[in-house]
Amino acid sequence: MNNNKFHLTGLVAAPFTPFDANGALNLAMIPRLADHYVATGVSGAFVCGTTGEGSSMSNEERMIAAEAWRKATAGKLNLIVHVGHNSLVDSRALAAHAEKIGAEAVAAIAPCFFRPGSVSGLVDWCAGIASAAPGTSFYYYHMPAMTGVNFAMVDFAPLAVKRIPNFGGIKFTHENIMDFSSALAAGEGGYDVLFGRDEILLSALAMGATGAVGSTYNYAAPIYNRVIKAYKSGDMAAARREQLKSIEFIEVFCNYGGMAANKVIMKLIGLDCGPVRQPLSQITSAQEAAMKADLERIGFFEAVRAA
């Protein structure tokens, strides 16, 4: 069991990595993003993950970005550095670096080219990464839609607890609510199971979730905090209304290009994080204008304002 006794709760944003017009890191934007998260009720930043395009960055860039995030979040937000990589050597180097700079936690997605063939093999892979940062909580990033690795987390977690001394839990980015609930119950509060599907957060709350990591918390945390507040107060009608607002705007940006359109929303709220990197493609200026009009039509910009 995790000897660090570190737990993540509340909303954890998965930041977009800011790039400039030429595709280089734009570190100057990171403090602005951190201040925005604090102002909108976010408790942490999960950096260099899927939303952060970590797999499209070099190790050097990931380390530089992590250092900038540590400086910007220190004393304000929990910092979780994603260190997943198809190379165990590189992943261990990223994990050791994250511990050196004082991150509260590290996380790693499963390798997606050569994949673990069993739950035990996946635990061994994770243990190899976690041991490079033994004093820092380790989270396994479960996202089968991207990796193709889809073992039941209710089977993974008990093995991870036994074999990874600093096991902190799971970032569960999957629609299998049954497995989410079972993995959460099996841990009896000894590790975290952080939910990662923003559009169905309310379902996870009903199953006992106390923490969540998501890309839309970058700009829509006030909506989700209202979901949580309404759920905790027993006002399910209000919780469903707020969750529906999330579903509506997610449907909008998915219609305009997914990740690239999602990143454009940051520009529309005044926090331009620049372009996406190849192989992702930018949306056109016409698409951006049309998406903005659609977001205005559903009252998005009013809904995401902090109270």
List of domains in the chain: 10-246 (3.20.20.70)
| Residue 51 annotated as lining a ligand binding site | yes
Q: Give the residue-averaged pLDDT of 113-125.
A: 97
pLDDT digits (tens, 9 = 90+) for 202-250: 999 999 999 999 999 999 999 999 999 999 999 999 999 999 999 999 9
Q: What is the 3-state secondary structure (H, E, C) of the chain?
A: CCCCCCCCCEEEECCCCCECCCCCECCCHHHHHHHHHHHCCCCEEEECCCCCCHHHCCHHHHHHHHHHHHHHHCCCCEEEEECCCCCHHHHHHHHHHHHHCCCCEEEEECCCCCCCCCHHHHHHHHHHHHCCCCCCEEEEEECHHHHCCCCCHHHHHHHHHHHCCCEEEEEECCCCHHHHHHHHHHHCCCCEEEECCHHHHHHHHHCCCCEEEECCHHHHHHHHHHHHHHHHHCCHHHHHHHHHHHHHHHHHHHHCCCHHHHHHHHHHCCCCCCCCCCCCCCCCHHHHHHHHHHHHHCCHHHHCCCC
Question: What's the rounded mean pLDDT across residues 2-6?
Answer: 61
- List, by residue number, the catalytic residues: 141, 171
Tell whether the model's pLDDT for residue 77 goes beyond 50. yes
State the pTM of this model.
Answer: 0.96
